[in-house]
Amino acid sequence: MNSVLVLHGPNLNMLGKREPEIYGSDTLEDVNVALGTLSKDLNVLVSCYQSNHEGDLIDAIQAADGKHQAILINPGAYTHTSIAIRDAIASVALPTVEVHLSNIHKREAFRHHSYIAPIAIGQICGFGVNSYYLGLRALVDYLQKCQA
């Protein structure tokens, strides 16, 4: 059975409280529970992890090598700043989908650039928490096609 590492970056632990007009009212726990339910329907394992610390996210990415078959990541603000997270993802060479709750391309100009997108198999943004669920579906579909 395939396994997907789900990474939540900085401030995502504040979902449901932080700017609900942008990020919605669902909590991170709500998202993780829904991902767990969806993963059963998709016949895939998910392991969810959140950190506000860049190095912790990098450690989780590196530890995914040989343990997981793909990564679903919402890097939060690190999307726009972290070459180190980009390099960690590139080093493990696991299929990765980048997700965002808001449409980063309709927001402030500094949010338009992603260091992750060029090495990801895709980016999904602007669908609220559904971005995570669409991202997981896309990863599972990708893995199935690669293994066929």
Say if residue 91 carries a ligand binding annotation.
no
Q: Which domain CATH number covers 115?
A: 3.40.50.9100
What is the value of pTM for the model shown? Answer: 0.94
User: Could you list the residue range(s) of the whole structural domain that residue 67 is in?
Assistant: 3-147
What span, in angstroms and rounded, lies between the C-alpha atoms of 100 and 121? Answer: 15
- What phi-psi label fits residue 76: left (phi over 0), alpha (psi between -120 and 50 degrees) or beta? left
Q: Which residues pair with 48 in a beta bridge?
A: 6
φ/ψ (deg, to 5) at 40:
-65, -40
Q: What is the pLDDT along the chain (148 residues), one digit of tens a residue?
A: 999 999 999 999 999 998 888 778 899 999 999 999 999 999 999 999 999 999 999 999 999 999 999 999 999 999 999 999 999 999 999 999 999 999 988 888 878 899 999 999 999 999 999 999 999 999 999 999 999 8
Number of structural domains (the chain) is 1
Say if residue 101 carries a ligand binding annotation.
yes
φ/ψ (deg, to 5) at 9:
-85, -160
Which residues are annotated as catalytic? Answer: 23, 100
pLDDT tens by residue, 8-44: 999 999 999 988 887 788 999 999 999 999 999 999 9
How is the beta sheet containing 70-74 ordered, strand by strand?
45-50, 3-8, 70-74, 96-100, 122-125
Say if residue 35 carries a ligand binding annotation.
no
